[in-house]
A and B are shown apart, each in its own frame.
Chain A
């Protein structure tokens, strides 16, 4: 299991390839990557991500451990960036390894649902019109209900 909270970019190809090495007992790997999305009507200049050093890492580790136990995972990787990020840049990725694809897919969704509303990150969008903190969505909180 590896959890990384970092400002530096990551190499999706290298991270995915490295993660896939050495799992002779695992038949499935799922990866999810989140990107900075531009705003259709009000072009995004930059997205700033703030986090809570210390709690971020422990919250992600706890989620990852829960996913390992619940979906019988062989391994988990979570990378999440902070600081200024520009449209099209990668914000974060998760990767899950399981014996079969269903567990790997479900574990990735489980991690993303929890990460969105339980890991202490906050996004702020800066446009020519000004800067605004991204509001949480009820649907993100509701998404936890299915687990």
Chain B
């Protein structure tokens, strides 16, 4: 079981801020593929990975990162602080 979080327009497109997901995904990319297969709103949100960033356990990483031991994965657009 893994906590999956969504922020900004990713949250709006998917329609919820977080959910618990039962998954055997080995990498972030595997998890994305599972999510996209679920429903159109996920497929749409993840249609352009270059427009997305990912953090595993609150550290920025890449889509090929391992999910081994991960508790939390977050998807969001490029950050716009400051």
Using CB atoms and an 8 Å cutoff, list the residues of chain A in contact with chain B: 34, 49-52, 54-55, 58-59, 80, 91-92, 112, 115-124, 133-136, 141
Contact = CB atoms under 8 A, between A and B. Distances in A.
A115 B80 contact: no
Interface residues of B, number: 16
A112 B82 CA distance: 7
* Chain B CB within 10 Å, residue with most, of A34, A92, A122: A122
Contact of A122 (B58, B60, B77): B77
B76 A122 contact: yes
A122 B82 contact: no
Nearest to A94: B82
Interface of B: 5, 7-9, 55, 58-60, 74, 76-82
Contacts, number: 70
B5 A52 contact: yes
Contacts of B80: 116, 121-123, 133-136
A43 B57 CA distance: 38
B82 A115 contact: yes
B8 A116 contact: no
B76 A120 contact: yes
11 contacts: A50-B8, A52-B55, A58-B58, A59-B58, A80-B81, A116-B80, A119-B81, A124-B8, A135-B78, A136-B78, A141-B78
Contacts of A91: 82
A136 B7 CA distance: 15
* Chain B CB within 10 Å, residue with most, of A52, A58, A135: A52
A121 B77 CA distance: 10
* Chain A CB within 10 Å, residue with most, of B8, B77, B81: B81
Contact of A136 (B5, B9, B60, B77): B77
